[in-house]
Amino acid sequence: SLHANTHLHANDRQGLERLCRYGARGALALERLSRAEDGRIAYRMKRPLPDGPTHLLFTGLELLRRVASLVPPPRANLTRFHGIFAPGAKLRPFLVPPVEEARAGGEAAVRKERMKERRLRVDWAELLKRTFDFEVFACVRCGGRRRVLAYVKAGRGVRAILEHLGLPTAGVSLALAQESTQAAWC
């Protein structure tokens, strides 16, 4: 987030470097992260919580889940407009003239159709491919393309398929909950 009224002189190299460092900084302060004795990741907060803890403890997956929730979906507007500036407002054509249509002619209509087809959310297979460079639908044996045949939701059907494939049918046994050591660590 950079303020629009930021101004630099053409010869201000230090100011330019400071501005670039500000824009390129990470969303998470790495100097506040450390590894706890039990292997979890500790995040030191600026101010302690009202009940006293100064650190939050996460497993690696918990930390990734928290950070990933901050990433906006691709090509989605982060600024929401209300009232007459909203995209569906009845009076918007009187406020904002359709400049693009007048300039581009018929090309603007084609572009609008493409925008309607664009998805705001990316499916799980595409996310795995982008993130881990792992193609879910590629067959490891023949290199061909897999396809989804059906979604099996019924418990008996799933159990029968797993037994036929020789895979375990019992769920993972979960350990009992233990007392949190987070308060004692901080």
Residues 46 and 93 in one domain: no
The pTM of the full predicted model, rounded to 2 decimals, is 0.37
Residues 32 and 68 in one domain: yes
For residue 50, what pLDDT band results from cuts at 50, 70 and 90?
very high
Q: What's the CA gap between 11 and 25, in Å, rounded?
A: 23
Average pLDDT on 122-141 reads: 85
Average pLDDT on 19-23 reads: 86
Average pLDDT on 49-72 reads: 89
**The three-state (H, E, C) secondary structure of 21-35, written as one string:** HHHHCCCCCHHHEEE
174 found inside a domain: no
158 found inside a domain: yes
- Domain containing residue 138: 120-168
Number of domains present in the structure of the chain:
3
Lowest model confidence (mean pLDDT) among 37-41, 59-63, 93-97, 127-131? 93-97
For 165, the token pair is: 């494939």
Residues 114 and 124 in one domain: no
Average pLDDT on 68-83 reads: 81
Torsion sign over Cα 120, 123, 127, 129: negative
147 found inside a domain: yes
Average pLDDT on 21-40 reads: 87
Residue 104 has pLDDT above 80, yes or no: no
Residues 41 and 103 in one domain: no
124 found inside a domain: yes
Residues 105 and 162 in one domain: no
Average pLDDT on 28-57 reads: 91
Residues 68 and 1 in one domain: yes
Helices (H), the chain: 13-24, 60-68, 92-95, 99-104, 107-117, 124-132, 155-165, 182-185
Query: How many angstroms from the chain centroid is the CA of residue 88?
Result: 27
Residues 54 and 13 in one domain: yes
What was the pLDDT predicted at 118? 59
Q: Which residue has the higher pLDDT, 95 or 118?
A: 95
Q: Which of 43, 72, 81 is nearest to 60 (CA)?
A: 43
Q: What's the CA gap between 112 and 105, in Å, rounded?
A: 12
182 found inside a domain: no
Average pLDDT, whole number, for the chain?
81
Residues 10 and 58 in one domain: yes
Each residue of 154-172: pLDDT tens digit?
878 888 888 998 888 887 7
Residues 128 and 142 in one domain: yes
